[in-house]
């Protein structure tokens, strides 16, 4: 029996893998693990519940709310808001837990249940395992200890959540956006209202695309995984920059005035220099993942900034930030965590901070992002191989050593077994694209021959 929790909550096809019964049961289990429900006398636990606009979120929200209330938890239902907004409200309202219903950048049929602990923090593996154990125990027949009468949870809509979150974003913005024209792609998702509102209140002229969610169109040919529409809109409107979110708006990618993509590494580089200048880049350190471009590392080194590389996944970036007392980290995909202002990746905050830097310096985004040069990167997925033997195969190890000698200090090799599929990812960076492609193909052939 596989683990229910993945890298970011419990996720699957709504009403097939992720049913109303499962959402209800998980919520009751989370209430028992994360709160004093059924425990401390006189304490009434509180949960913040939000969702993205996908259609299945409507019935899943009802199931989650029912589960929490049946466990004696009072529920503040904040409606459609980004994941980082739910995290922020969980902390600012002193709630015992938060629940977000979203499958992030996944297609519309998928959905997910994501829990936050007190303070709005993502759960450690140990807490997820405890919730899953309690859920399975009761799913197998053990009855719940249910409150009755006045002990059941009360449910109310918390409409103030929208303005509270936007006010928080504006309060931490170092420079207003007056004079900037910005195109925002909301991915027909959770940020379709919030992000344009925040940018407009900060002074920007805002043009929106992907801002008409109907429950079925989330992430469909828009947002951070489909930048073509944003590129075209920025050029058409003569905008200074464009911002793209994913379905739950915990990530942000950008395009410059010419419509060229600015990825998560480049955004991190721009923010790192801004924070160093402002004295807020603690320990002169940035945390990223092993997938970050070598050009990013080289750019930080030139600026006297240290790079720590964590495993792939924003939760591992967050763990390293907390462990070392650092303030900035993120992923190439656009998950950026500014720990002084957010407990998780926040796409709207990231976009605002990036635009704020453009406004403050009066430099085009392309010039600011030019602090780093992305080295050509080639990624090949080698399927149907034994990923467990990547680290133990002598021939694979020799092939990697040969590749590293050929590339020298201007290139990099990474072989990474997939965490979810029977394949090995071969990634090569080099000064020239052809060299990166040649080396990657050669390594992929060795991996296939030795591990297939």
Domain check: are 191 and 68 in the same one?
no
Domain check: are 225 and 123 in the same one?
no
Name the 3-class secondary structure at 181.
strand
Q: What is the CATH number of the domain that holds 252?
A: 3.40.120.10
Asked, for residue 56, whether it belongs to a domain, the answer is: yes
Query: What is the predicted pLDDT for the residue at 43?
Result: 77
Domain check: are 197 and 334 in the same one?
yes
The total of other beta-carbon atoms located within 10 Å of residue 150's CB is: 8
Domain check: are 260 and 365 in the same one?
yes
- Mean pLDDT for 156-165 is 98
Query: CA 74 to CA 46: how far, in whole Å?
Result: 5
Asked, for residue 352, whether it belongs to a domain, the answer is: yes
Asked, for residue 4, whether it belongs to a domain, the answer is: no
DSSP string, 77-131: EEEE--HHHHHHHHHHTT-SEEEEE--TTS-TTEEEEEEEEGGGEEPPHHHHHHH
Query: What is the predicted pLDDT for the residue at 39?
Result: 45
Q: What is the pLDDT of residues 343-360, one digit of tens each?
A: 999 999 999 999 999 999
Categorize the per-residue pLDDT at 45 as very low, low, confident or very high, splitting at 50, 70 and 90: very high
DSSP string, 240-257: SEEEEE-TTSS-EEEE-T
Query: What is the predicted pLDDT for the residue at 23?
Result: 98
pLDDT surpasses 60 at 192: yes
Domain check: are 178 and 150 in the same one?
no
pLDDT surpasses 80 at 1: no
Domain check: are 358 and 443 in the same one?
no
Per the structure, how many domains does the chain have?
Answer: 3
Asked, for residue 1, whether it belongs to a domain, the answer is: no
pLDDT surpasses 90 at 119: yes
Query: What is the predicted pLDDT for the residue at 37?
Result: 47
Domain check: are 271 and 194 in the same one?
yes
Q: Which two tokens mark 274?
A: 């801004």
Query: What is the predicted pLDDT for the residue at 236?
Result: 98
Which one has a higher pLDDT value, 386 or 7?
386
Query: CA 90 to CA 428: how far, in whole Å?
Result: 41
Domain check: are 422 and 274 in the same one?
no
Q: Which two tokens mark 424?
A: 């090995």
Q: What is the pLDDT of residues 417-446, one digit of tens each?
A: 876 677 899 999 999 999 999 999 999 999
Query: CA 438 to CA 408: how far, in whole Å?
Result: 15
Query: What is the predicted pLDDT for the residue at 427?
Result: 93
| Of 345, 369, 393, the domain-final residue | 369
Q: What is the pLDDT of residues 247-263, one digit of tens each?
A: 999 999 999 999 999 99
Annotated binding-site members for Mg(2+): 104, 246, 248, 250
Asked, for residue 425, whether it belongs to a domain, the answer is: yes
Spot the catalytic one: 104, 224, 327, 333.
Answer: 104
DSSP string, 330-384: E-TTS-EEETTT-SS--HHHHHHHHHHHHHHHT--HHHHHTTS-PPPEEEEEEES
Instruction: Indicate the range of 39-48, 120-129, 334-343 predicted with least confidence.
Output: 39-48
Domain check: are 381 and 362 in the same one?
no
Query: CA 372 to CA 298: how far, in whole Å?
Result: 8
Q: Counting Cβ atoms within 10 Å, is residue 88 exposed (0-12), middle (13-18) or buried (19+)?
A: buried
The total of other beta-carbon atoms located within 10 Å of residue 52's CB is: 31
- Mean pLDDT for 114-134 is 94
Query: What is the predicted pLDDT for the residue at 199?
Result: 98
Asked, for residue 3, whether it belongs to a domain, the answer is: no
pLDDT surpasses 50 at 66: yes
Domain check: are 68 and 196 in the same one?
no
Catalytic residue status for 438: no
| Of 343, 369, 395, the domain-final residue | 369
- Mean pLDDT for 379-406 is 91
| Of 130, 159, 188, the domain-final residue | 159
Q: Counting Cβ atoms within 10 Å, is residue 416 exposed (0-12), middle (13-18) or buried (19+)?
A: middle
Q: What is the CATH number of the domain that holds 415?
A: 3.30.310.50
Domain check: are 338 and 318 in the same one?
yes
Asked, for residue 2, whether it belongs to a domain, the answer is: no
Asked, for residue 5, whether it belongs to a domain, the answer is: no
Question: Containing domain of residue 352, as a range?
Answer: 164-369
Domain check: are 168 and 154 in the same one?
no
């Amino acid at each position: 029996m596989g683990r229910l929790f993945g890298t970011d909550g419990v996720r699957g096809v709504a009403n097939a893998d992720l049913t109303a019964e499962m959402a209800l049961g998980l919520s009751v289990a989370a209430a028992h693990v994360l709160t004093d429900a059924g425990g401390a006398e006189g304490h009434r636990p509180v949960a913040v519940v939000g969702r993205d606009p996908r259609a299945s979120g409507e019935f899943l929200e009802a199931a989650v709310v029912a589960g929490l209330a049946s466990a004696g938890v009072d529920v503040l239902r904040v409606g459609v808001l980004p994941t980082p907004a739910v995290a922020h409200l969980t902390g600012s309202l002193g709630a015992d837990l938060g629940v977000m219903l979203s499958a992030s950048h996944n297609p519309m049929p998928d959905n997910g249940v994501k829990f936050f602990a007190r303070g709005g923090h993502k759960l450690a593996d140990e807490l997820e395992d405890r919730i899953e154990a309690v859920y399975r125990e009761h799913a197998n027949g053990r009855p719940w200890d249910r409150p009755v009468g006045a002990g059941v949870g009360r449910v109310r809509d918390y409409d103030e959540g929208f303005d509270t979150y936007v006010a928080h974003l504006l309060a931490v913005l170092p420079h207003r956006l007056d004079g900037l024209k910005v195109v925002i792609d909301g991915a027909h998702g959770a940020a379709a209202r919030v992000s344009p509102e925040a940018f407009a209140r900060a002074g920007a002229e805002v043009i929106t695309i992907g801002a008409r969610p109907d429950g079925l169109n989330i992430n469909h040919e828009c947002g951070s995984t489909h930048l073509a529409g944003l590129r075209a809109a920025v050029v058409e409107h003569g905008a200074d920059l464009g911002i793209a979110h994913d379905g739950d708006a915990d990530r942000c990618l950008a395009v410059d005035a010419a419509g060229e993509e600015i990825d998560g590494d480049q955004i991190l580089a721009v923010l790192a220099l801004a924070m160093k200048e402002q004295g807020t880049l603690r320990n002169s350190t940035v945390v990223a993942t092993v997938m970050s471009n070598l050009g990013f590392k080289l750019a930080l080194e030139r600026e006297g900034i240290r790079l720590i590389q964590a495993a792939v996944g924003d939760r591992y970036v967050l763990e390293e930030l907390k462990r070392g007392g650092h303030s900035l980290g993120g992923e190439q995909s656009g998950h950026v965590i500014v720990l002084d202002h957010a407990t998780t990746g926040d796409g709207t905050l990231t976009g605002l901070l990036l635009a704020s830097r453009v406004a403050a310096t009066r430099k085009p985004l392309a010039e600011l992002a030019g602090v780093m040069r992305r080295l050509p990167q080639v990624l090949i997925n080698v399927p149907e191989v034994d990923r467990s033997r990547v680290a133990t195969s002598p021939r694979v190890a020799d092939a990697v050593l040969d590749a590293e000698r050929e590339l020298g200090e201007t290139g990099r090799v990474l072989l990474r077994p997939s965490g979810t599929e029977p394949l090995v990812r071969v990634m090569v960076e080099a000064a020239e694209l052809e060299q990166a492609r040649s080396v990657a193909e050669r390594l992929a052939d060795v991996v296939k021959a030795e591990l297939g």
